[in-house]
Amino acid sequence: MDALKGLWQIDVAVEFYCKLFGTVPACVNEVVRLSELETILANPLVGRYIIDTEGRVRSEKGM
């Protein structure tokens, strides 16, 4: 459940980033600078979070 919550929180942050800057962030680190997502990024069950070119968030382990 924490993994899904992490995906959702990053997704919301990506949406905010896109509205603020008018572009999709190149990586999760760009989103982290604008919010407090450090604890989400450390989740070992999902690995790293990835943002695709359309702004969709997924984990490197397929979530």
Tens of pLDDT, residue by residue over 21-44, are 999 998 888 887 777 666 566 566
Average pLDDT over residues 10-23: 88
Average pLDDT over residues 3-23: 85
Higher model confidence: residue 2 or residue 56?
56
Provide φ and ψ at 19, rounded to 5°: -70, -40
As a whole number, the mean pLDDT across the chain is 78
